[in-house]
Amino acid sequence: MPDPMDDLDQRLSRALHAMQDVPPFPREAADRIAARAILASSPQARAGAWTRRLAAAVVLMAAGAAVVTAARRTAVVQRSELAMAGARAVGGAPVLPAAGAPLLPVSAGGARPIIFELDAPDARSVQVLGDFNHWSRDATAMERSADGRWRITTLLPPGRYIYAYLVDGHRFERDPARDAVEDRDFGVTGSELVVGEAP
Amino acid sequence: MPLSRPHVTVSRPPRTSAPADVLALRARDGDPGAFSALVELMQPRATRFALQMTGAARDDVDDIVQDAWIRTHRALPRYDASRSFESWFFTILANCCRSLRVRLRRLQLRAQPMDDQLRDESIDALMATTTRSDVARVFRALATLPAAQRETFLLHHVEGFSYEEIAVISGVGVSACKMRAKRAMDAVRELLREDDPDA
C-alpha cells in the first residue's frame, strides 16, 4: 500500500514546481513600467513642491526667452511642413530629413511632419518618448546637430499627443515651452502636442 | 502518521542572476533599454511574489511592484555589483510588500482572501499547471502563516534564494531563516494533509 505521506510530499513538490512557473512578460508592458519608474524617480518628480515654486519663479523671469523659444519651435515645424510639401522654407533651405535620419515608426495616414527638438548641448544621448510610440525605448534616439540641439523628425497623424525627452538615459525632461500634462493611460507626465489637420 | 519525517525535496528554480546582473550594471550606467529588459525579466516573478505575500487585489499588487521599480531605479547608482541584482531587487520588493501590509492594517482594510485570488484570471495566467487544486491548497496554507514565515517559504521554495541571500533580504540571521522555513514547511504539510479530500 502506498505511503500517503509520500503521496502528499509528491503532490506538494509538484505544486511548488507549478508555483515556480511564470510566463514571459510582454516587452511593451515592460517598457511602460520602466518608463514610469524612470520618470517617477527623476529629479524633477522628486523635487515636488519646491521645484514647482522655483519653476514658477523661473518661468516669470524667463518669460521673454520662452516666447522666443516657442516662436523658433513653431518656425521649425512650419519649415518642416513646407519641406514635405515640396516647397522651400522661408528664408532658408528645406528642412527635409537627412538621408538615413531616424524616423519614428508611426502610421502615416494623414500624418504631418513634426520635428522634435531639444537644446541640450551637454547631453550624451536624447530620446523622445510619448504615447505615439507607447513610451518605448525603441526607435526614439534623436540626432545631435553641430549647434548642440537634438532633433528627430516624425510623421504624426492629427491628434493630441503627450511626450517627454529622456536625456542621458536617466533624466526625463518635459518640453519647457509647453504645458505639463498627464498621460493617464501610461501614468506619466509629459508635454502636450496637438497636431492639427492639414490645411 | 508522524509529520516530522524528512521533508519535501524541492528542486529550486535555476538562478538566472548573471543576465540580470549584467543588465543592472548597464542600467546603472544610464542605459534605459537595459532597465526595461530588467523589468521584462523580473516582472512575472515580482508580481507572483507580491500577490502571494500580500493577498492584495491585483491593482494594488501592480502598484506595489511599480513602486518597487521606482525605488530600484532611484537606488541604481548605489547598486553594488558584488551582490546579485535579484536578491537586491527582492529586498526592495519585500520592503514594499511589508509597507502595504502595514498600510492595510492602519486602514483596517482586509486584503483579498487567497481563495478569491485563485478565481482571478490574472492568477490563472501566472500559473501554467495541472495541479491547480494542490496549488490552491498551498495558497490557503500560506495565507494562514505569519508573514515572516510566508516570506521565507516563498523566497526559498518558489523564488530559489539561498538562506544566506534570504538573510540579507529579510534582515535576519541565517539560522532564523532556516527555522522559519522549517516551521513554514511543517505548517504547509500539516494544512495540506488536513485539507486533503482523499485523506
Q: For residue range B141-176, what is the model confidence (pLDDT) as tens digits?
A: 888 899 999 999 999 999 999 999 999 999 999 999
- Evaluate whether B123 touches B117 at the Cβ level (below 8 Å): yes
| Average pLDDT rounded to a whole number, residues A178-189 | 68
| Average pLDDT rounded to a whole number, residues A132-153 | 77
Q: Quick check: B11 pLDDT over 60?
A: no
What are the beta bridge partners of residue A186?
Answer: none
% of residues, chain B, pLDDT over 90: 41
- Evaluate whether B137 touches B195 at the Cβ level (below 8 Å): yes
Distance CA B56, CA B143 (A): 11
**How many residues are there in chain A?**
199
Three-state DSSP state, A147: coil
Cell digits for B101?
A: 501590509
B150 touches chain A (CB under 8 A): no
Nearest residue, CB atoms, B131 vs list A4, A14, A34: A14
Q: Do B36 and A27 touch (CB under 8 A)?
A: yes
Which residues in B lie closer than 8 A to residue A4 (C-beta atoms)? 1, 199
What are the beta bridge partners of residue A151?
Answer: A117, A143
Q: Classify residue A177 by burial, with Cβ atoms within 10 Å: 0-12, 13-18, 19+.
A: middle
Each residue's pLDDT tens digit, B65-99? 999 999 999 899 888 888 899 999 999 999 999 88
Cell digits for A7?
A: 503521496
Three-state DSSP state, B38: helix
Residue type, A54: L
Among all chains, which residue has been given the C-alpha cell 486584503?
A: B111
Residue type, B193: R
Distance CA A16, CA A55 (A): 53
Mean pLDDT of chain B: 79
Provide the sign of the torsion angle of the four alpha carbons A36, A39, A41, A47, taken in this order.
negative
Name the residue of chain B whose CA is nearest to A30's CA.
B40
